[in-house]
Amino acid sequence: MKIKIISDIHLGVKNTSSNDFLIDENAFREYLSMSVHDNDLLILNGDTFELWEEILNSGSLSARMTNIINSWNFMDIILNDPKIKIINGNHDAFIKRPGIIPTKYVTDSLDYNMNGYKIHIAHGHQGDIWNKDSSCLKYISCCCKNLESVGEDMVDYSLDDSVQKLTNCLFPDNGKTEKYAEALANATNTDIIVFGHTHTSNLVEKSNCIYVNDGCCVNTQSIDELIIQNGSSLNISLGKYDFTTGIATNSKTINKI
């Protein structure tokens, strides 16, 4: 089995302030088609949609989702291809409600066993006190979303595609998502934990598990991607797909026999 995982696309209504997705839609449609062709599964690991404002907005969630769906020419692939699985995140937790995405079953997490290794895939906000679904602090965090620009001077513009990695600058992760992954691995006897949420890709072998963060898709020219493939060994590859060159490069790989 070969699984590709991406997360944090943050699709809003195109050409509005609620949208954080900056990749050319025709290029991304081609990327999705290629991904479902070359992999057994494509997992969208949370925050696929930008519905954060609905926490404060009394408007129709169904209407907003309809507007988002109608904004992008690749939504038919996301909604209808059986190889694509959707996990909800903190920005799109509402998509679990019946009828919001009628063509897809949305779940909090997915679990697989590959080559004898237990793999748990979730967005990762469950370990973030500011963003987990049951926390009242999530609403405070939401209220501060429009103040994120206050921290723009914190961004290192020399880094590739760093401009859009400002998200949550008021509430930095400080390693809490990774610590939550270690605790979860201990509690569930899981070998590999895959999260998104932080917008910072990472692949590291801890003492009790392999922790992977699949990064994000809110850059201007590239997106982070994770591929897990089994065979004679289990291969975990974290990389980046560059839309200007059409080339995928691996930044780090772990092989487990």
pLDDT number for residue 74: 98
- DSSP notation for 172-231: --TTHHHHHHHHHHHHHT-SEEEE-SSS--EEEE-SS-EEEE---S-SSSEEEEEEEEES
CA–CA distance, 128 with 137 (Å, rounded to integer): 10
The number of C-alpha atoms within 13 Å of 177 and in the hemisphere containing its C-beta is 27
d(CA 121, CA 46): 10
Residue 74 CA, chain-centre distance (Å), reads 17
Q: Take residue 141 and report the two structure tokens written for it.
A: 């965090």
Cβ neighbors of 99 (< 8 A, separation 6 or more) are 62
- Is 126 exposed, middle or buried, given 0-12, 13-18 or 19+ CB atoms closer than 10 A? buried
* pLDDT of the chain, 257 residues: tens digit per residue: 999 999 999 999 999 888 999 999 999 999 999 999 999 999 999 999 998 765 555 567 788 899 999 999 999 999 999 999 999 999 898 898 888 887 888 999 999 999 999 999 999 988 765 565 544 444 444 445 444 433 333 333 333 444 334 344 434 556 788 889 999 999 999 999 999 999 999 999 999 999 999 999 998 899 999 999 999 999 999 999 999 999 999 999 999 98
Q: Which pLDDT belongs to residue 158? A: 36
Asked whether the beta carbons of 200 and 165 are under 8 A apart, the reply is yes
* DSSP label of 152: G
Inter-residue contact 203 to 256 (CB < 8 Å): no
**Which residue range forms the structural domain that includes residue 10?**
2-256
The predicted pLDDT at position 136 comes to 46
Alpha-carbon distance 87 to 49, whole Å?
11
- Going 91 to 94 to 96 to 101, the CA torsion angle's sign is negative
pLDDT of residue 174: 60
What does the pLDDT read at residue 233? 96
Q: Write the CB contacts of 179 (distance below 8 Å, at least 6 apart in sequence).
A: 127
Find out whether 177 and 215 touch, Cβ atoms under 8 Å. no
CATH code of 172's domain? 3.60.21.10
Residues forming beta bridges with residue 253, ordered by sequence position: 237
Domain count, the chain: 1
